[in-house]
Chain A
Amino acid sequence: MKTDSRLKRVLEKGHFAVTAECGPPKGADPKVIKSKGKILKGFVDSVNVTDNQTGVVRLSSLAACVLLKKEGLDPVLQMTTRDRNRIALQSDILGASALGIRNVLCLSGDHQSFGNQPQAKGVFDVDSVQLIQLVRQMRDNGVILGGDKLSEPPRLFIGAVANPFADPFAYRAIRLGKKVAAGAEFIQTQCIYNLTRFNEWMDKVRDLGLDEKVYILGGITPLKSARMAEFMSKQVAGMDVPDEIINRMKSIPAREQRQEGLKIAIETIQALKEAQGVHGVHIMAIEWEEAVPQLIEAAKLFPRPQV
């Protein structure tokens, strides 16, 4: 049977996949999601919807996924363990499947202290690896935690994240291995600016044979300005923006920096297309969705395959 997940079909057929991120609005207006969906439709295989990204309250990921699905896109439901205990997680997973969502991305989530609810009680009842395992068991064995049988298992393509740039570096590939062992089928990475370090990580990933067990999509965020590059380098946890990139952005007049940011992104995509074991890209154009079609065309990833 043909799976409903476009992302899964694209990857299984051996195409270089393209996914993009879509941040829901800080309000109840569905038009924002729909218009972002319209911009991305046809240019990407799937669209990730962030789950209260950076701990900031936004329209729910599940609701936004349904809105995108109605627009004819293949949404990826991001689900963090920060805000839900195991009862809520399992319930939302079933709900997502029932509503026709076919991809889930399991992550722990940004710590609540960074968002607009720093007094919130972080749940973290399970961690991201445990969540992957839990979804996998629900889908493949039709059971929830504790062994109770489901009347109908969820049908989800299971994803996870990896950050090749966080410390301790030596452990990062092993951690990916753990996520794969827990049941992850595709991986989206943190934004790549330091290709040298990314390649070192990929060497370890290949040594462990993980690139043959899981689809890896490299993270791409086009820089809008030299200031953004500096901010990401200094202020955003787990980001690695080398001085070389910052200096390159700085050397360009301010009004042309967006173009330079896109150029860097295109170069990175080209490098990832060449890298053995990289199966696609995940574009996180933070509130700059209009850039995505342009980027995809320039990187010669358009048209998308018919699957």
Chain B
Amino acid sequence: MITAERKPLSEIKEMIAPYKKILVAGCGSCVAECASGGEKEVGLLASALRMDAKMEGRRIEVNEITLDRQCVYEFIDQLTGLVGQFDAILSLGCGAGVQALADVFAGVIILPALNTTFIGQTKEAGLWIENCRACGDCKLGYFAAVCPITRCAKGLFNGPCGGSKDGKCETDPDAPCAWQLIIERLDKAGRLDLLQNVYPPADWSKQQGKGPRKIHREDQSI
């Protein structure tokens, strides 16, 4: 899923400072799953903004709504007819959600309340780790299902660098060395022979070659 973290309240306050009527719009998908932009977080942020305004003697109206998904038109449609009542929409969607709202409601002020962070996995309650960079050319099959682009700090394709120690990455003593994991997993699978291959440079054009990427499937079009 896509993970995100809420921006600091001070930054959100600065963004919404010029506006009096604000709609806080959450998203029930990924950002709800990672506890940063779902219904609960929308409620918490809206209350925090109301309380803060009250304490500082400012008048502000903050309303709440949480869409099932902010990045899909069918769900965004719930806001049609509503957005005009507000000076600004404070989105708790990921970057795709924020931009989808802006795409639909031209001329409406859409502001991000989250920092979209990474594609990751829920490792345990309250812990998310990045494990995919969406490079567009998945090579997990060669690397024992551990992505070296994402999980090795240097994105190496041909084995660990000289800084790996006790199974940890030199850049972060809490982070496992991706190559240690790859080697251990290949060993368990009896596929250590895969380590001897010299893997060629990645084709980054599949990720960032020509601006934003697009998937267009005729079979899915109406």
Contacts and interface: CB of A to CB of B under 8 A. Distances in A.
B171 A238 contact: no
A13 to B, nearest CB: 30
Given A127-B154, A127-B155, A238-B170, A171 B160 contact: yes
A190 B162 contact: yes
Size bin of chain B's contact surface = 20 to 34
Contacts of B99: none
A178 B170 contact: no
A113 B170 CA distance: 10
Interface residues of A, number: 34
B156 interface: yes
Contact of B159 (A129, A161, A238): A129
Contacts of B198: 129-130, 133, 178, 181-182
Contacts of B183: 168, 171
B10 interface: no
Interface string B184-200: 10000000000110111
Given A167-B167, A171-B183, A127 B158 contact: yes
B154 A111 contact: yes
A108 interface: yes
Contacts of B202: 125
Contacts of A127: 154-158, 201
Which applies to chain B's interface (DSSP): helix, strand, loop or mixed? loop
A125 B154 CA distance: 9
B165 interface: yes
Interface centre among B157, B180, B201 (most CB of A within 10 A): B201
Given A86-B201, A237-B170, A130 B162 contact: no
Contacts of A163: 162-163
A124 B158 contact: no
A145 interface: yes
Given A125-B201, A174-B196, A237 B157 contact: no
Interface string A121-163: 0101111111001100000000001000000000000000111
Nearest to B156: A127
Interface in B173-222: 177, 179-180, 183-184, 195-196, 198-202, 204
Contacts of A108: 154, 156, 161
Contacts of A162: 162
A69 interface: no
Contacts of A125: 201-202, 204
Contact of A178 (B155, B158, B161, B180): B158
Nearest to B177: A167
Contacts of A171: 159-160, 179, 183, 195
A275 interface: no
A297 B39 CA distance: 74
B62 interface: no
B166 interface: yes
A261 interface: no
Contacts of B179: 168, 171
Contacts of B158: 127-130, 175, 178, 182
A166 interface: yes
Contacts of A134: 201
Interface of B: 153-167, 170-171, 177, 179-180, 183-184, 195-196, 198-202, 204
The 10 closest A-B CB pairs, nearest first, are A163-B162, A237-B170, A237-B163, A129-B158, A238-B162, A127-B156, A126-B201, A175-B159, A238-B163, A124-B155
Given A111-B170, A171-B160, A237-B162, 9 more contacts: A113-B153, A113-B171, A114-B171, A129-B157, A129-B158, A129-B159, A175-B158, A181-B196, A238-B165
27 contacts: A82-B154, A110-B163, A111-B153, A111-B170, A113-B171, A125-B201, A125-B202, A126-B201, A127-B156, A127-B201, A128-B158, A129-B158, A129-B198, A130-B158, A130-B198, A130-B199, A130-B201, A133-B198, A167-B167, A168-B184, A171-B160, A174-B196, A181-B198, A182-B198, A238-B163, A238-B164, A238-B165
